[in-house]
Each structure stands twice: as C-alpha cells, then as structure tokens.
C-alpha cells in the first residue's frame, strides 16, 4: 500500500507544483491534453500502467473469528487489493474433517470483512502448481500470503513451497490469542460441564472459561490447553480495526445492540440490513455480565473485547460501543443522535416485548424503533448446536490440533509485525 499510494501523492504534488510554477505553459498544455486526457504525463497514464498490487490469502475460515480478520487486515496491508480463497467443504472434509460452517455461510463471513476486495470460492486446500499458475495468470496475483505458523500437507510437504520457490510468498505474523480450536474447546467445555452438574460449581467454572482465563478445575482436573485464551486486548488492535470516522453532519444514525457472540453469517446479514436504513451504523455490544444474565451462565463464549473486534471488522459497521447498556435510554439516543433503533427477528432475545422492562421502551415510545426481518435463520445457539451434535468428532480433531497449537506456543519466539 505504502509505496504506490505514496508515489501517487508525489505525482499529484509534482503536477500541482509544475502548473503553479509555469502558469502559461501549464495552461497551454492543459488545453492540449484536455481532449486526450490519458496522455497527461503526471496523472492517469502512469497510474494506469502501474496496476495495483494484488495479494492472495486462502483459508477455511471455519468458525471465523477476529484472528482471521486480523490476518486479512495484515495481508491487505502488503498490497493494494486483497483476494481471498475460501476452501470448499469437500476439501476441508478431506483434509481436516467436517467444517462447522458450510461454504455459503463462510463466504458471507469473508465477504463481510472490510479488508477483503474479492473472494474466490471453492479454493483448493493446498496451492498446487496448477492453481498457483491460475492465481498469477487469471487473477493477476502478485503475492501469496500466509501466517508464520507452518502449514504442512498430509504428505509432510510445505503447502506454500511452490509460492516460495517462485519468490511470490510473503509472511504475516500469526494473531495471538485465539484460534478456532480454542473456541471449539470453549464450547465443548460448556457442554461437558453441563453434563457433570453436581460435582462442580457451575457458574464460577463457566464464567472462568467464558472469559478464557481458567487454568484448572477445582477438583484438580487439568484443563486441556485449548481452553486457555492467549488473547490480550490492546488499544492498538482496536485502533487498527476501527474506521476512525465520525458520522457526517447530516448522517442518519442507526443503532443496533446485542451480544454478537460467535459472530456468524446471521449477524452479518442483520448488520447489512441495519446499515441500509441509514448512513452510519452504531453497534452496541453488551457486556459479558449482561450476556450471562440474559442468555445463561455459559455465555458468552467470546468475551467483550473479542466480540467487539469481530463486529468492528465487519464492513457494514461504522462504530461500536464496547459494553452497551441493556436499555436504550433517551440520554443515549440524544448523545449519539440516533435516528433509528433496530432489532432482528431471529435474535435470541425475542421475548423482550413480553418482559416487564422492555429495553426498547424509549425508542418505541419515540416512534423510532423497527424490527428487521432477518433473512438468515442462524443464531449463536445454532452454531453451538452444530458443534455439540458432532461432539465426538470435534473432540478428537481438537485434541490433535490442540497439541500442535500447544507446540506452537511452547516453541514460539518473537516475530516482528503487527
Ligand atoms: C456455586 O457458588 C455459589 C456462590 O459461591 C453458590 O451460591 C452456589 O450454591 C454454588 N452452586 C453449586 C452448584 O454448588
Ligand atoms: C442528527 O441526525 C439528523 C438525521 O437524522 C441530522 O439531520 C442532524 O443534522 C443530526 N444532528 C447533528 C447535531 O448532527
């Protein structure tokens, strides 16, 4: 990104200076070139020859989380356009077992990430020489990007060997703190704990792992490594994820709130619909305490910071409130100049209208509340159910993967990058 946009700025700068420094010449040349604009020596022509740097990254993006989003952000920073290959269901099944999220949902998720420019569906699991050629020739890819963790194929070879040999490989630093294995581990634990009720103190245990902090069960059973979250929320990461934009002077601000736990395709769809209702979408993310109190003690699976990053990475979101109040107050509506408060039909707390204290009572009384028809019937519970129904298979797969992740963390040395 740096070099090309930097040069573009320089070019523009040079053109301005030149015109200012030689008014007469400038004017005559402007007249000359106005009919054939492409010949303009400082602007379009050179930039047209200098095509944008296109970088490619692939992945399964199963149970997509902010770690994936951060990888995509880093990849995008190595070029001007990011093209993402999403591995097909069949290839995932063949290489690592059934995915939790089917391809069409994974595509919705990847397309919604604000750093993604194009998506190639049904990408192969390994970049073969043939597919690499296709990437270079058909998709005009300049570089293939991958994290600093090794990606070994079943036959023991490096999945990116071809790209490396061709000198078209670039590496990014793996995002600390979360992996799909870790998240699946948190969910499985939540299921396991619910089946061994009496011997444990539920609420405290569940709170422990939902915040990703627990080390041991109270009865001395050592938790599997997958349960420990390495996530360290830094302000820098939040800044990197945020748009840093405030609403324009006449912007119509739409507000939507929720838990946004295990950010999924259903969330993406409702955020897209919400953003369509105005010019600026403000998303309120409920605190861990609020989510536990309303959805059950084993929720949320992802903590407030993790949930905030996932929502911030979504292209339809302009701003988030990290830890939004349960009730939408008049004060809040005034403070943020909210024009419309929306809520999805497939959200998990649809009983709110029956509740004694309706959290939307104020916007309803002001006539600025609207229910949006969610087109995708997916909730966080759907995702957890999918995992649970494949409990055994995932546990096996998870133990194997957890082991290699443990090795990664144990053998890890500092890698520069962000
Ligand atoms: C768990 O701990 C809380 C508070 O420490 C207590 O009120 C509750 O009864 C305990 N639950 C069980 C199942 O032991
Ligand atoms: C508040 O929002 C409305 C649009 O709903 C806009 O016309 C108005 O200018 C905004 N007020 C301020 C102070 O930005």
CATH number at residue 322: 3.40.50.620
Ligand 2 nearest-atom number relative to CA 247: 14
In a domain, 227, yes or no: yes
Positions of the chain with pLDDT lower than 70, given as ranges: 1-49, 150, 154, 176-177, 190-232, 347-356, 390-418
Phi, psi angle pair for 104, to nearest 5°: -60, -30
- Ligand nearest to the backbone CA of 205: 1
CA 178–ligand 2 middle distance (angstroms): 39
In a domain, 416, yes or no: no
Domain count, the chain: 4
Clarify whether residues 244 and 344 are in a common domain: yes
Q: Which of 146, 172, 198 is the last residue of a domain?
A: 172
Clarify whether residues 61 and 130 are in a common domain: yes
Residue 255 and residue 282 in contact, taking contact as beta carbons nearer than 8 Å: yes
Eight-class DSSP state of 120? E
Clarify whether residues 268 and 227 are in a common domain: no
CA 249–ligand 2 middle distance (angstroms): 6
Clarify whether residues 264 and 347 are in a common domain: yes
Q: Which of 142, 172, 202 is the last residue of a domain?
A: 172
CA 227–ligand 2 middle distance (angstroms): 46
Phi, psi angle pair for 236, to nearest 5°: -60, -40
Torsion of CA 35, 36, 41, 42, to 10 degrees: 70
Q: Is the CB of 375 under 6 A from ligand 2?
A: no
Clarify whether residues 241 and 372 are in a common domain: yes
C-alpha triplet 114, 287, 308: angle, nearest 5°: 10
Clarify whether residues 30 and 80 are in a common domain: no
Cβ-based burial of 358 (10 A; exposed 0-12, middle 13-18, buried ≥19): middle
- Ligand nearest to the backbone CA of 201: 1
Q: Is the CB of 196 under 6 A from ligand 1?
A: no
In a domain, 116, yes or no: yes
pLDDT value for 35: 37
In a domain, 391, yes or no: yes
- Residue having the nearest C-alpha atom to atom 8 of ligand 2: 250
Pairwise CA distance, residues 141 & 321, whole Å: 37
CA 279–ligand 2 middle distance (angstroms): 11
Clarify whether residues 84 and 156 are in a common domain: yes
- Residue having the nearest C-alpha atom to atom 9 of ligand 1: 201
Asked, as a colleague might, if the bond just before 23 is cis with ω within 30 of 0, I would say no
pTM value is 0.74
In the three-class reduction of DSSP (H, G, I as helix; E, B as strand; rest coil), residue 341 is classed as strand
Ligand 2 nearest-atom number relative to CA 337: 1
In a domain, 151, yes or no: yes
Tokens matching residue 139: 């998709």
pLDDT value for 203: 41
In a domain, 418, yes or no: no
In a domain, 417, yes or no: no
pLDDT value for 312: 97
For 208, left (φ over 0), alpha (ψ -120 to 50), or beta? alpha
Clarify whether residues 346 and 324 are in a common domain: yes
- Domain extent at residue 166: 54-172
- Ligand nearest to the backbone CA of 337: 2
- Residue having the nearest C-alpha atom to atom 10 of ligand 1: 201
Within 313-377, residue ranges assigned H as helices are 330-335, 361-365
Clarify whether residues 289 and 371 are in a common domain: yes
Clarify whether residues 300 and 334 are in a common domain: yes
CA 84–ligand 1 middle distance (angstroms): 48
Clarify whether residues 240 and 216 are in a common domain: no
Q: Is the CB of 202 under 6 A from ligand 1?
A: yes
For 258, left (φ over 0), alpha (ψ -120 to 50), or beta? left
Q: Is the CB of 339 under 6 A from ligand 2?
A: yes
Residue 101 and residue 23 in contact, taking contact as beta carbons nearer than 8 Å: no
Clarify whether residues 288 and 190 are in a common domain: no
**C-alpha closest to that of 58 among 119, 105, 140:** 119
């Amino acid at each position: 990104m740096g070099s090309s946009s930097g040069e573009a700025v320089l070019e523009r700068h040079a053109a301005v200076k030149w015109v200012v420094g030689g008014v007469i010449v400038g004017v005559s040349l402007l007249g000359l070139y106005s009919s054939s604009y492409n010949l303009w020596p400082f602007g379009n022509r050179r930039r047209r020859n200098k095509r944008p740097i296109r970088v490619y990254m692939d992945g399964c993006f199963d149970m997509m989380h902010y770690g994936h989003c951060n990888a995509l952000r880093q990849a995008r920073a190595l070029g001007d356009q990011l093209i993402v290959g999403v591995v097909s269901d069949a290839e995932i099944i063949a290489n690592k077992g059934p995915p939790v999220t089917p391809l069409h949902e994974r595509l919705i998720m990847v397309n919604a990430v604000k750093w993604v420019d194009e998506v190639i569906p049904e990408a192969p699991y390994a970049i073969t020489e043939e597919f690499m050629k296709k990437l270079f020739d058909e998709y005009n890819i300049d570089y293939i990007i991958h994290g600093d963790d090794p990606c070994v194929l079943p036959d023991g070879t490096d999945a990116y060997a071809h790209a490396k040999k061709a000198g078209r490989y670039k590496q990014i630093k793996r995002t600390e703190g979360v992996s799909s294995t870790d998240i699946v581990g948190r969910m499985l634990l939540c299921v396991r704990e619910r089946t061994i009720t009496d011997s444990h103190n539920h609420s405290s245990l569940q709170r422990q792992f939902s915040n990703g902090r627990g080390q041991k069960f109270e009865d001395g059973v050592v938790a599997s490594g997958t349960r420990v979250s390495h996530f360290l929320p830094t302000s820098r990461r939040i800044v990197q994820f945020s748009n840093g934009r405030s609403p324009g002077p006449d912007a119509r601000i739409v507000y939507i709130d929720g838990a946004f736990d295990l950010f999924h395709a259903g969330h993406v769809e409702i955020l897209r619909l919400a953003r369509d209702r105005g010019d600026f979408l403000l998303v309120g993310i409920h605190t861990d305490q609020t989510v536990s109190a309303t959805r059950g003690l084993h929720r949320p699976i992802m903590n407030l910071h993790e949930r905030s990053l996932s929502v911030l990475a979504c292209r339809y979101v302009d701003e988030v409130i990290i830890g939004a109040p349960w009730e939408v107050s008049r004060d809040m509506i005034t403070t943020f100049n909210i024009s419309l408060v929306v809520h999805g039909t497939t959200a998990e707390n649809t009983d709110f209208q029956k509740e004694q204290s309706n959290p939307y009572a104020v916007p309803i009384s002001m006539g600025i509340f609207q229910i949006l028809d969610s087109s995708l019937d997916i909730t966080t519970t759907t995702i957890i159910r999918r995992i649970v129904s494949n409990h055994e298979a995932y546990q096996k797969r998870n133990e194997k993967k957890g082991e290699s992740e443990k090795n990664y963390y144990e053998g890890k040395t500092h890698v520069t990058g962000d």
